[in-house]
Amino acid sequence: MRVLTDRLFQAFTMAVALSVSIILAFILFQLIKDGIGSINLNFFVETARPVGSNSGGFKQAIVGSLLIDSIAMIIIISFSVLGGLFLHVYPETLLSKILKESMSLLQGTPTIVCGICVYYMVVRSMGHFSGFAGSIALALVGIPYMVLASEQIFKMTPSLLVEAAYSLGLSKARVIFYVILRFAKFPLLAISLLTLARIAGETAPLLFTAFGNSFLELNPGRPMAAMPLQIFIYAISPYDEWHRLAWAGALVLIIFVTVLSIILGRYRRLGE
């Protein structure tokens, strides 16, 4: 009976894994089939053009995503490392318990809710949409994930290493800076890349904050385009030409996430 149960479980897990692989392969096939034809030099160096101009690209969206995601990652890493350290160093305090519960609750919050909150707190107070507001909305999505992951990373620091540092007379601040943070630098880098891959494809928070822009905009204080936003706008349009550009944008976004995963794999090996 036990052998039969094991084989049934093995068959079930293999069937699930095969199903997921087929779905993933179908998505990749569809992206390549409909998107590869529109990827050329114009796609990267030209901004959006009106329908019928037989040109146009994603330049404003690529530049916008780079700026918005970079500002968001600066906010995420700054708050998350400090938050994770606080949870690790002072785990039994009331503030630490409140912070951990808040992060767990925020982690499960739909991302569109983060966008609406930033719209009411930032966009309405500024009086207009902006790339900064988009970065804050993406930071709200990424901070809970990275705070909780950072706490787990700091917990992996060998206790013998920390005790040895204290026995040498180092203060708590020096132990955190020279032992815990140094030990966690590669895992923190890996988590940062994973967080970047997660927020890079978010569309809902940007609909209420960055809003999008048909022109190249380098000032984050103004409405900015972004890759997910541009894909969304083109995908819901009635024009076949824009549909092809949307497929091409989705393919480029997938390639970007895949490159991040490859880099992550290399850093994991370095960390080991």
pLDDT bin (cut points 50, 70, 90) of residue 73 is: very high
User: Residue 223, SS3?
Assistant: coil
Cα–Cα distance measured from residue 196 to residue 190, given in angstroms and rounded to the nearest whole number: 10
Which pLDDT value is given to residue 267?
Answer: 65
- Amino acid at the residue 132: F
**Does the pTM of the predicted model rise above 0.95?**
no
Q: Which two tokens stand for residue 270?
A: 């370095």
* Predicted local distance difference test score (pLDDT) of residue 270: 55
The model's confidence at residue 56, banded by pLDDT at 50, 70 and 90, is: confident
What's the whole-number mean pLDDT along residues 19-25? 91
Q: What is the mean pLDDT of residues 211-222?
A: 89
CB crowding 24-58: b at 16 or more within 10 Å, else e:
eeeeeeebeebbeebbeeebeebbbeeeeeeebbb
* Burial class of residue 77, CB neighbours in 10 A (0-12, 13-18, 19+): buried
Structural Rg of the chain based on CA atoms: 22
Most confident of 38-42, 116-120, 187-191, 192-196: 116-120
**Average pLDDT over all residues of the chain:** 88
- Which comes out higher in pLDDT, residue 262 or 126? 126
pLDDT tens, residue by residue, 155-173: 888 888 888 888 888 888 8
State the CB neighbour count (10 A cutoff) for residue 270. Answer: 10
Residues 206 and 134: their CA atoms lie apart, in Å, by 5
